[in-house]
Amino acid sequence: MSHVVVVGAGLAGLAAACHLVGDGHRVTVVEREQVPGGRAGRLTQDGFTFDTGPTVLTMPDLIDRPLRAAGSSLAQRLDLQLLDPAYRGFFADGSTLDVRHGHAAMREEIHRECGSVDAAAFDEFVGWLRRLYLAEMPHFIDRNFDRPTDLLARPRAAAQLLGMGGFGRLGPMIRRRFTDERLHRLFSFQAMYAGLAPDDALAIYAVITYMDSIEGVFFPRGGMRAVPEALAGAAADAGAQFRYGTSVTDLLRDFSGRVRGVATDDGEHVAADAVVATVDLPTAYRWWLPDVRPPRAVSGLLGGRYSPSCVVWHLGVKGVPEGKVHHNIHFGHEWAGAFEDLLKKGTLMGDPSRLVTVHSLDDEEAAPEGHSTLYVLEPVPNLEVGRVDWEAQRGPMRERLLTFLDAAGYPTDVVTEQLVTPNDWQAQGMAAGTPFALAHTFPQTGPFRPGNVDRRVPGLVFAGSGTVPGVGVPMVLPSGRLAAERVRQLVG
């Protein structure tokens, strides 16, 4: 039985552990925190519990897959609630639009708010999105690549994507389909998940729009933190060992450079036949592989491009917001100009759009009676392109967000809070101070993205948002499976 060490109990590491233990390996997961989750973490403070990482959960079948690999299932481990509406969009003219679950409900919403022409356009849009997903997911997302020419192994799927306009630009594609500008924003803001402005993102990233706008957004009973707890529980029940509160300080390598295990901060050397590392790729190379030149895209100095970062403000407040749903997107007047500020000028958005998630509306454990948790996210430049002094701007940013919340009708009697800036993300080991890793530009997508193996360091496999297939919960879960597949190739 081969022994595999997984470094990090985030979603990618937990998915990898489930698949590895299902393959018959002896698995040890080493996690520096006291609980599983990684970036999908939790904060308990003054009687409030906050989910500190991703707030939007889509495609639950991607969670079921590693659970089943470990001998469990989604039905056994998680109680999921469908959120309908998935989002409520608030616009600068005072209007609102809901993203409703199901074709018929969303079509009716568009017909009522935007008119019959856009409602009819939505019918074709849904069909296009489904075809895009079916061509993209199995052939270009959920598979390993060894070289760019591997794209040619799926010529029919590649030709289909090309014929569907998948390699055009997302923003113009949305504008060609819909006349109402609010729909342009509602169906293209997802490009930010890929680290790009809608006018720069490839149309293939409309697959993210498909995942949340068509397939639906869910919320697990017990909060988003229930997802890593479920995966960790399934892996442990199947035999995986977890070592919480332990940090990996180095990789153990033999005279040939092959990885043979890890060293931990308690002085132990843990031997392994393979190691799966889920820390940010640039951090892994900087900490553990100083003698190995990183792939080009891993370092901004060598041509890589990182996604924007964000400020997240966790607030526990007195009162419950009215007229709000679980996920609320507040769009500013500006659109193209705001992305110019963020991505090119490296400044705060002059007229930002923001996400406010109110977990406590659907999580009875999140806040005391009569109180709420607010998760307020504003996109900001990453530390490579940004010109923001976050030590000086922490206080002003708090006041900026407080003013916004008050104007938007949220309760603002703050009981407890934590403000997270790019400096904080960087201190957690995230390159360029962004939790969203490398942007999904064409040279950093698919086989051009840093691979999950480096042939110069046999025995080491990467997983997580910095490698294939990419950023976000629906990407890092397959990343764990792809890493397990690599281990299978390495040690059988």
For residues 311 and 423, state if they share a domain. yes
Whether residue 96 lies inside any domain: the answer is: no
Whether residue 91 lies inside any domain: the answer is: no
Q: Decide if 473 contacts 442 (C-beta within 8 A).
A: no
pTM (two decimals) = 0.96
For residues 260 and 192, state if they share a domain. no
Domain end marker among 177, 192, 214: 214
Token pair 């052939």 in the structure block, residue: 139
Residue 303 has pLDDT above 80, yes or no: no
Residue 299 has pLDDT above 60, yes or no: no
Q: Decide if 13 contacts 209 (C-beta within 8 A).
A: no
Question: For the residues 293-319, what does the mean pLDDT come to?
Answer: 83
Phi-psi region of 8 (alpha: psi -120 to 50; beta: other; left: phi over 0): left
CATH number at residue 291: 3.50.50.60
Backbone angles phi, psi at 82, to 5 degrees: -75, 130
Domain range spanning residue 181? 102-214
Whether residue 326 lies inside any domain: the answer is: yes
Residue 301 has pLDDT above 90, yes or no: no
For residues 355 and 422, state if they share a domain. yes
Which two structure tokens, joined as six digits, stand for 274? Answer: 């393979």
Between residues 140 and 415, the one the model is more confident about: 415
Closest-CA residue to 429 (of 284, 245, 297): 284
How far is the C-alpha of 59 from the C-alpha of 367, rounded, in Å?
27
Residue 390: pLDDT band with limits 50, 70, 90: very high
How far is the C-alpha of 343 from the C-alpha of 328, rounded, in Å?
23
Residue 413 has pLDDT above 90, yes or no: yes
Residue 300 has pLDDT above 80, yes or no: no
For residues 64 and 173, state if they share a domain. no
Domain end marker among 385, 404, 427: 427
- pLDDT, tens digit (0-9, with 9 covering 90-100), for 460-470: 999 999 999 99
For residues 316 and 397, state if they share a domain. yes
Whether residue 469 lies inside any domain: the answer is: yes
Domain end marker among 180, 214, 248: 214
| Amino acid sitting at position 338 | A
Whether residue 90 lies inside any domain: the answer is: no
Whether residue 87 lies inside any domain: the answer is: no
Helices (H), ranges, 35-180: 61-69, 74-77, 103-114, 116-136, 155-163, 170-177
Q: What total of structural domains would you count in the chain?
A: 3
* Residue-level pLDDT at 320: 98
Whether residue 455 lies inside any domain: the answer is: yes
- pLDDT, tens digit (0-9, with 9 covering 90-100), for 55-112: 999 999 999 999 999 999 999 999 999 999 999 999 999 999 999 999 999 999 999 9
Residue 302: pLDDT band with limits 50, 70, 90: very low
As separate numbers, helices (DSSP H) first and strands (DSSP E) second, the chain gives 15, 19
For residues 312 and 423, state if they share a domain. yes
Q: Decide if 457 contacts 156 (C-beta within 8 A).
A: no
For residues 311 and 379, state if they share a domain. yes
Question: For the residues 360-367, what does the mean pLDDT come to?
Answer: 96
Residue 474: pLDDT band with limits 50, 70, 90: very high
* CB neighbour list of residue 290: distance below 8 Å, 6 or more residues apart: none
- pLDDT, tens digit (0-9, with 9 covering 90-100), for 219-252: 999 999 999 999 999 999 999 999 999 999 999 9
For residues 143 and 208, state if they share a domain. yes
Whether residue 245 lies inside any domain: the answer is: yes
What is the average pLDDT score of the chain? 95
* CB neighbour list of residue 389: distance below 8 Å, 6 or more residues apart: none
